Amino acid sequence: MRLINGLRFYRDSNPLKFFGSIGLFFIIIGFLIGLWLVFLFLTTGQVGHIPATILTMLLITSGIQILCFAFLADMWRPEMRR
């Protein structure tokens, strides 16, 4: 229970770091899978692995959306309002 309360406090007090790290993690994983797909294309010359391509785009898009949410949440913190 303490871990959950600690995560809630960290999320509420510093949303850019909390959600930004999650978004960057998704983007990096998607980028690495994409690099693997590009390497396979350059070495074999075949375009394959359609599910991995869809996963790459899903991870990168989700990461960008989470980063945008992090920026919005950071701008809209209650202690910043007047």
Per-domain residue ranges for the chain? 2-80
3-class secondary structure, 77: coil
d(CA 3, CA 16): 19
Quote the pLDDT of residue 14: 80
Contacts of 74 (CB under 8 A, 6+ apart): 15, 16
Position 7 scores a pLDDT of 67
Regions of the chain where pLDDT drops below 70? 6-12, 77-82
- Per the listing, tokens 């785009």 go with 57
